[in-house]
Structure 1
């Protein structure tokens, strides 16, 4: 039983209870930083791989040939297939298998996104990319450092995401420029919010996966979530900042 009448930490051999708690906190913080850094590095590497594949595929002339055939639907739907495979097979797959699928996803996303180089100028794509990167860094930092619980905010954002997906499907038939503009504005705002929300959720998740076999998988899936936030925010923002050829 603790001696509440003795305010001084015990001295002698070994660390005091206070020192032990401090050491545990320092160890946890160091582990959290390492965990989040692994997520950011994996996410950034995936984005870089996607960009390289997209540029090479577009500059080679293959993008024009392939995207003008029914194979374009394969390229458009392939990334979704990878995401579904990773999500539903998460518990059964080994970490190495999940990682391989992540890199495969980044490659097929590059093939799919090569179409933007056929529509927008290279300079406007680069400008939008760096603007997205700056916004992503600030929003993710906010999500990591804020003391406010973003859980309820996240639920609202998910509902908004479903809404814009429905609106995009409807606009395929309506071809409304006003609705397209509204969807683009909401898309940027929603994925900006999701960046902060997902970052906070990944930070809190560390306490659950710390020291478990799932930690490696959590890094990959966390990188996938942030990757999707970044790419979608970039694509919606490109509709405003992109200059067409």
Structure 2
């Protein structure tokens, strides 16, 4: 093998190893975020069934409705901040914002076992994990460039949002599982799409290791949102079937 060939081989090898390590880091951040959400959700659930301090603060106090609205607004602000200013924030701030969002999501998730059976919640989580991993693998290995269809995916997301809002006021839509299946399908596609974008982030980061770290956190947030939404739509589907 010539000197040129050896350099090309080792360059390619190092690049692939770097990308693999980067994707592993993204999934690690995502895993930590999900762990925080699960831990906080368990604390809230336990507090709810024991009428503990957390439950009295977030759900049974006179200002509970304002606290819930404040939590929702704070979650939106955190996501928008990461989306809009990811390159201008430090790595520490990005990490803190992501983990804070995960913790706030855990507060709202604490009521889920009260609305659905624990077995249904567990089943939805397992199915969501299987679908998520499958879609992530497809996005990683496929030769189809899904990022070219970002406009179509965004349009589908907007349509899903409009349908979800309409279902609040239209009982027929509220009780129809079509929206749940549509949402599940859209976020399955988004999972594969986001995996390809994360690979692009690795090559886009040209301003040093800190920028790559921040993009890894941003990628973890996108995958976290994909998984959470898939879980929620599956929970709605499975929960509806159990009530029949």
Provide the TM-score with structure 1 as the length reference. Answer: 0.88
Corresponding pairs, count? 231
1:191-220 CA-partner distances (Å, limit 9, x unpaired): 000000110111122112167231010110
Query: Partner of 2:86: helix, strand, or coil?
Result: coil
Q: 2:80 aligns with which of 81, 84, 91?
A: 84
The answer to whether 1:217 aligns with 2:214 is: yes
Q: CA deviation at 1:75?
A: 2.5
Query: Is 1:144–1:196's contact at 8 Å kept on the other side of the alignment?
Result: yes
Deviates more, 1:31-40 or 1:46-55: 46-55
Q: CA deviation at 1:119?
A: 0.3
CA distance in 2, matches of 1:226, 1:241: 22
CA distance in 2, matches of 1:27, 1:99: 27
Deviates more, 1:87-96 or 1:210-219: 210-219
Q: Which has the larger radius of gyration?
A: 1
- Report the RMSD for the aligned CA atoms in angstroms: 1.8
| Structure 1, gaps ≥5 residues long | 1-8, 11-15
CA distance in 2, matches of 1:151, 1:25: 23
Q: 1:36 aligns with which of 17, 23, 29?
A: 23
After superposing on structure 2, the runs of 4+ consecutive aligned residues of structure 1 that deviate more than 3 Å are 62-65, 177-180
Query: Is 1:154–1:194's contact at 8 Å kept on the other side of the alignment?
Result: no
Q: 2:180 aligns with which of 184, 193, 216?
A: 184
Q: 2:33 aligns with which of 27, 46, 59?
A: 46
Partner of 1:20: 7
Partner of 2:113: 117
C-alpha change, 1:204 and 1:86, in structure 2 (3 Å) is: closer
Query: Is 2:167–2:174's contact at 8 Å kept on the other side of the alignment?
Result: no
Deviates more, 1:156-165 or 1:87-96: 87-96
CA distance in 2, matches of 1:63, 1:198: 36
Query: Is 2:128–2:227's contact at 8 Å kept on the other side of the alignment?
Result: yes
Q: CA deviation at 1:65?
A: 6.2
Query: Is 2:44–2:111's contact at 8 Å kept on the other side of the alignment?
Result: no
Query: Is 1:76–1:112's contact at 8 Å kept on the other side of the alignment?
Result: no
| Structure 2, gaps ≥5 residues long | 49-53
Deviates more, 1:66-75 or 1:157-166: 66-75
Deviates more, 1:71-80 or 1:182-191: 71-80
Partner of 2:59: 67
Q: 1:238 aligns with which of 226, 235, 238?
A: 235
1:90-109 CA-partner distances (Å, limit 9, x unpaired): 22211111111111111001
* Structure number having the greater helix percentage: 2
Provide the TM-score with structure 2 as the length reference. Answer: 0.88
